[in-house]
Structure 1
Amino acid sequence: MEFINKPNFEHSFFNDIVRINYNCEAAPQVINDFGYSYIMIRYGYFEARNNQGEYIAIPRIFTKCTGDFFSVKAATNSSWISIELPNGAFHNITKLITKNQRNKLIDLYDYIPAEILDTLYVALENENEIEKITALVDKSLESYYSNWMVPLDSQPMVDYIFNKKGLLETIELSEKFPFSSRTIERIFHKEVGASPYRFICLVRFNHIIRELLENKYDSIDSLTKDYEYFDQSHFEKDFKKFMGQGVKQYKDDFNPLLTKALSRVYHETN
C-alpha cells in the first residue's frame, strides 16, 4: 500500500488530501471516523462494510459525513483520493440533515454536473503528486467553495471541541456558546452528524489512540487518566464503540491503513 500525503498541507478550504494506492490485494481493514467531512474519489474495486457488517455501495465520487467505523477491502491496482473537509462541509454541500446520513456515501453527481466530475475523474486517475491533485480539484470545484464554506452555528463549537482535544463536558458548550443544551443537540443533529456527547468522545478518542500508536506512555492506566477516562474499562468501551474491536485485537492486528491515517498530524483548528 502506498500512502501519499503532503506534510504541512495548507489550503483555504481543505484540511488535507491523501492518495492511497494498492499494489496488491488488501485484506479488510478497520478505519474509524475522525470527525470531519470528506470528498472521496475511487479508482478500481473496493468492498466496504459499515459498523453492522453490511455492504455499502461505493460511488466513484462521493461525499461522507461523520459516522461510525467501517472496514474496507481493496483489489490490486485500486486507489482512492481522500479530500478532508471541515466538519460542516457535508451539510453545506448536500443540505441534508447530517445525522440521518451517518454511514452513507452520498454520490457527488447528485450535486455537481456530470461533465465537471467526469473531467476531474479522468484528470486525477494517474496523478500522484498532492500539489497537482490539489490544483486539478481547485480548477474543477473552486466555484463551489464559497457555498461549501458558509458559516454554520456548529462550527465554533466543533472547533472548540477539537482545540480542547475532547476534554470537556457537554454542559460546557451551553456555558460557552449562546445556545441552550436542547438547541445545541438540534444543531449537531442537523449539521454535525453526531450528538455533542458522541462527538466529544470521538475527538478525545482520536487523540488518545494516536498516543497509543506512538507508544509514548508509561501505562494504559496513566494514559486513560490523562484523557479523563474513569478507568481502563471505560476506555475499552469507547475503543469498541469507535473501532469495533478491543485494544488487544487492535494492537495484534496489522492495519497499515489506520496506522498511516493516525500518523498524520491531527488537524488543528484556528
Structure 2
Amino acid sequence: MKFISDPNFSHSLFKDVVRIDYQSDMPPYLINDYGYTYLMFCYGDFEAVDHKGNLVPVPQKLVKGTGDYFSITAHKDNIWITLEMPNHVLYNITGIPSNRSRNVLYDLESYVDPTVLDSLYDALRNKESISGIIETVDEHLSHYYSKWGRPLKSTPIVEYIYQEKGLITLADLQVQFPYSERTLERMFNKEVGCSPYRFICLVRFNYVIREIENNPEVLISDLTAQYNYYDHSHFEKDFQKFLGQSVSNYKNEFNPLLTQALARKFVKADDA
C-alpha cells in the first residue's frame, strides 16, 4: 500500500487527509471508530463487513460518523481518499440524529449536488498530493463548509474530551459544562452518536492505541496506569468493546506493527 499524507496539514474544516493506493490485493483488515466524521471517495470495488458480520454497500462518495468497528477488503489498484472532520459535521450534513447514523455509510449524493460530486470524484482520482486533493475539494465543496462546520452544543464538550485524552468522568463534564447527566445523554445521542460515557472510553482507548503504535516497547503496567485503567483486564474489556476481539486474537494486516507490538507486550506477558 502507498500512503499519502501530510503531518503539517492544516485546514479550516478538515482535520486530516489521507490517500491510500492499494498496490496488491489486501486481506480483510479491521478499522475502529475514532470519534470523527469522514468524507470518503472510493475507486474500485471494496467489501465492507460491519461489527455484526453483515455486508455493507460502499458508495463511491460517502460520509460516515461515529460507530462500531468494521472490516474492509481492498484490491489491487483500488484508491481510498479520506478527509477527517469534527464529529458534529455528520449531523450538520444529514440532519439525522447521530444515534440513528451509527454504522451507516451515507451516499454523499443525497446531500450534495450530484453533478458537483461527479466532477469532484473525477478530478480527485489523479491528485497524488495532499495539497492537490484539498485544493480540488475546496474548489467543489467550499460553499458547504459554513453549514457543515457550524458548532453544536456538544462541540466544545467533545473538544474537551479530546483535550483531556478521555481521562475524565461524567462528573467532570458536569463541572465544566452547565448540563445535567440526562441532558448530556440526550445531546450526545443526537449529535455525537453514542453516550458521553462511551465516547470518553473511546477517546481514551484510541490514545492508548496510538501510544502502542508510536512506542511498541511501552510497558503494559505503565500504559494502564497512565490512562487510568484499573488493570490489564480493564483494558481488555475496552479492547473487546471497540475492536470486537481479545488482545490475544487481534490481527490486522493493515497495521502489522500494532499487531506485533500487542502480541509481544500483552499476550506473552499473560503467558509468562
Please say if 1:76 is aligned against 2:44: no
Give the SS at the match of 1:168.
coil
1:172 is the counterpart of 2:137: no
Q: Which amino acid aligns with 1:227?
A: Y
Unmatched segments (≥5 aa) in structure 1: 260-270
The CA deviation string for residues 201-246 of structure 1, in whole angstroms up to 9 with x for no partner, is 0000011111122336552122112111111001001011111222
Q: Which amino acid letter does the alignment assign opposite residue 254 of structure 1?
A: E
Report what 2:224 is aligned to. 224
Change (3 A) 1:201 1:258: farther
| CA separation of 1:118 and 1:39: change in aligned 2, threshold 3 A | same
Alpha-carbon deviation of 1:194? 1.1
Partner of 1:125 in structure 2? 125
Equivalent position of 2:263 in the other structure: none
Query: Structure 1, residues 57-101: CA drift from partner, whole Å, max 9, x if none?
Result: 111101001111110000111111100001100001111100111
Gaps of 5+ in 2: 259-272
Distance 1:253 1:156, change over 3 A: closer
Given the alignment of the two structures, is residue 185 of structure 1 paired with residue 185 of structure 2, yes or no?
yes
1:254: which partner in 2? Answer: 253
State yes or no: 1:18 paired with 2:18: yes
* Pairing 1:142-221 to 2, within 5 Å after superposition: 142-215=142-215, 218-221=218-221
Q: What is the match of residue 50 of structure 1? A: 50
Asked if the contact 2:14–2:86 (Cα under 8 Å) also holds between the matched residues in 1, the reply is yes
Report the Cα distance in structure 1 between the residues aligned to 2:256 and 2:186, rounded to whole angstroms: 34
Aligned partner of 1:268 in structure 2 is: none
Report matched runs for 1:80-119 at 5 Å.
Answer: 80-119=80-119
Q: 1:131 to 1:218 in 2, by over 3 A?
A: closer
CA distance in 1, matches of 2:58, 2:184: 32
Matching of residue 2 in structure 1 with residue 35 in structure 2: no
Structure 1 position 253, deviation (Å): 4.5
Query: Does the aligned pair in 2 maintain the 1:64–1:105 contact within 8 Å?
Result: yes
Partners of 2:245 and 2:213 lie apart in 1 by 15
Is 1:28 paired with 2:28?
Answer: yes
- How far did residue 258 of structure 1 move? 9.0
Q: Secondary structure at the match of 1:158?
A: helix
CA distance in 1, matches of 2:118, 2:141: 12
Amino acid at match of 2:202: L
* In 2, Cα distance between equivalents of 1:218 and 1:128: 35
From the superposition, tell whether residues 148 and 225 of structure 1 become closer, same or farther in structure 2 (CA, over 3 Å).
Answer: same
Q: How far off is 1:256 after superposition?
A: 2.9
Residue 130 of structure 1 deviates from its aligned partner by 0.7
Alpha-carbon contact 1:211-1:217 (below 8 Å) kept: no
Q: Give 1:242's aligned residue.
A: 242
Residue 140 of structure 1 aligns with an amino acid whose one-letter code is: H
* Distance in 2 between residues matched to 1:118 and 1:255, nearest whole Å: 29
Distance in 2 between the 1:101 and 1:219 partners?
Answer: 37
Partner-residue secondary structure (3-state), 1:157: helix
Deviation of the 1:106 alpha carbon:
0.6
Checking the alignment, whether the CA contact within 8 Å between 1:63 and 1:106 is kept in structure 2 is: yes
CA–CA separation in structure 2 for the residues paired with 1:36 and 1:51 = 18
- Residue 112 of structure 1 aligns with an amino acid whose one-letter code is V
Moved over 6 A (4+): none
Deviation at 1:44, TM superposition (A): 0.2
How far 1:12 moved relative to its partner? Answer: 0.7
Distance 2:47 2:257 in 1: 16
* SS of equivalent residue, structure 2 residue 168: coil
Q: Aligned partners of 1:130 and 1:218: how far apart in 2? A: 32
Q: CA RMSD in A?
A: 1.4
User: How many corresponding residue pairs?
Assistant: 258
**Rounded Cα–Cα distance in structure 1 between residues aligned with 2:50 and 2:97:** 19
Contact 2:48/2:73, CA 8 A, preserved across alignment: yes
| Contact preservation (8 Å) 1:224, 1:232 | yes
Q: Is the 8 A contact 1:37 1:63 kept in 2?
A: yes
- Distance in 1 between residues matched to 2:169 and 2:5, nearest whole Å: 34
| TM-score normalized with structure 1 length | 0.92
CA contact (8 A) 1:31 1:257 kept: no
